[in-house]
Structure formats: C-alpha cells, structure tokens
A and B are shown apart, each in its own frame.
Chain A
Amino acid sequence: DAGVTQSPTHLIKTRGQQVTLRCSPKSGHDTVSWYQQALGQGPQFIFQYYEEEERQRGNFPDRFSGHQFPNYSSELNVNALLLGDSALYLCASSPTEVQQETQYFGPGTRLLVL
C-alpha cells in the first residue's frame, strides 16, 4: 500500500513565476492538508481540503490556492513566486474518522525560487 506521494521532488523557479505541486493521499484517506516548511523551522499549515472544498486555511496569502479532485488527490498552486516561498512543501492525508492529529505526511517537494 503506497503512502502519501508527492511530485515533483524538487523544483526550481524564478520570481514571478507560477508553480503547481501535486499530492496523492494514502489509500483510504479522503482529507488532504498542505504545509510549508522553511529551512530550520517546523511545518506551517497552509490549508486543508475535504470533499473537494477548502475546509480550513492558515495565514497564507491568496497567492496560495489549491484543489482537490474526486479521487482525493490534490494540487497546491502558488502564483507570483517570491524568494521567500523557497521551502519544503509537505502534503499530509488522513481519513475522516481518525483523530485529526494523526496525519500521514509525504516526502515533500523542495521548491527553490531564484
């Protein structure tokens, strides 16, 4: 049983560009959350998707948007990239019946903005 998978593993962009990151949740999971982790810091919550809707959002600007598909996979889109958007982007999935604090994380996508 595959765990949470993310693509691509690494990405280099320049300021002002747009990027799309992808996530496939663990089998049987229907909830997907996205986190941003800057170097040396803990992950910061961006938003969570459930039933193809954004259920909760952290303190991130509207440049960060997402989508969830009927098969529960998800995309994170970031527009007008800034140097400060360079980070590891983590996707986490969970089944709705499990306590929310036990989320399963993918390996992340490392984004570098030049």
Chain B
Amino acid sequence: LAKTTQPISMDSYEGQEVNITCSHNNIATNDYITWYQQFPSQGPRFIIQGYKTKVTNEVASLFIPADRKSSTLSLPRVSLSDTAVYYCLVGDQRDYKLSFGAGTTVTVRA
C-alpha cells in the first residue's frame, strides 16, 4: 500500500480557503486517492475521491498532478464547522480495507 504523508495540523480563519497537500510518492497505477473528514467522537466521513487531474463536488476540490505523487484537498471558504481531522488515503479499489494515517487536524478560528 502506498504510504501517505500530510501535515499534522493547519490553522485557518473563517472564509479562507484551506489547502492540504498529501504526498504519496510510491502510488501504484491502480491506486485511487480518497479523503475522509472526521469530527470528534464521530466516525470518518467520505469527502472526495479522484484518480488524476481535478475533481470537484459540493464540499471540496481535489487536485492531482500528472505524476500523481501528491494531491491537494481544497476546502473553499471554511467555517468553524469545518474544524476536523482530514485523512488522505491511497489504495487499490480492489483492496477491501481503508488504510488511515494520522491525518491533518484543521482548526478554523473566527
């Protein structure tokens, strides 16, 4: 499984854009990149998934360069309720398990 590296924590203010970069240098051809969000005392929640280039949904955007060795999750105009831990996962969709790292704790301040 491709190992991921992401910052331990990030601080932001309401209304700003937050970008979290995840490194996955040994990503395999069949691997997808997926991001989950977790609030305290809750289970993780799927945010977005992509394979290459850019993916956008109502919550976030995911930017993946051509070499796929990194990816950036972009949260537009964050609010206090976006304070959470964000996990970057890389894996083959044929693998049944999800492999979480330590994640990035994002703190949004007023």
Complex CA distance for A100 and B103, rounded to whole angstroms: 20
Complex CA distance for A107 and B41, rounded to whole angstroms: 7
Q: Is the CB of A105 within 8 A of B93?
A: no
Question: Which A37-65 residues have a C-beta within 8 angstroms of B?
Answer: 40-45, 48, 55-56, 58
Q: Is the CB of A102 within 8 A of B100?
A: no
Question: Which B60-110 residues have a C-beta within 8 angstroms of A?
Answer: 87, 89, 91, 93-103
B13 within 8 A of A: no
Chain B's closest residue to A92 (CB) is B43
Q: Which of A41, A58, A104 contacts B97 (CB 8 A)?
A: A58
A4 within 8 A of B: yes
| A42-B41 in contact given A55-B96, A101-B93 (Cβ < 8 Å) | no
Q: Which of A40, A55, A103, A106 contacts B98 (CB 8 A)?
A: A103
Q: How many Cβ-Cβ contacts under 8 Å join chain A to chain B? A: 68
Interface size for B (C-beta < 8 A) is 23
Give chain A residues whose Cβ lies under 8 Å from the Cβ of B93. 99-101
Counting chain A residues whose Cβ lies within 8 A of the other chain, the interface size class is 20 to 34
B45 within 8 A of A: yes
A108 within 8 A of B: yes
| A107-B42 in contact given A42-B102, A55-B96, A100-B95 (Cβ < 8 Å) | yes
Q: Is the CB of B97 within 8 A of A105?
A: no
Interface centre among A31, A45, A90, A100 (most CB of B within 10 A): A100
Chain A nearest Cβ from B102, distance in angstroms: 6
Q: Which of B42, B87, B94, B96 contacts A42 (CB 8 A)?
A: B87
A73 within 8 A of B: no
Interface residues as binary, A18-44 with B (CB distance below 8 Å gives 1, 0 otherwise): 000000000000010101000011111
Binding site for B on A (CB under 8 A): 4, 31, 33, 35, 40-45, 48, 55-56, 58, 88, 90-92, 99-108, 110
Inter-chain pairs besides A35-B98, A99-B93, A105-B44, 5 sampled, C-beta below 8 Å:
A45-B99, A58-B97, A101-B98, A103-B46, A105-B45
Closest 3 CB pairs of A and B: A105-B43, A42-B100, A45-B97
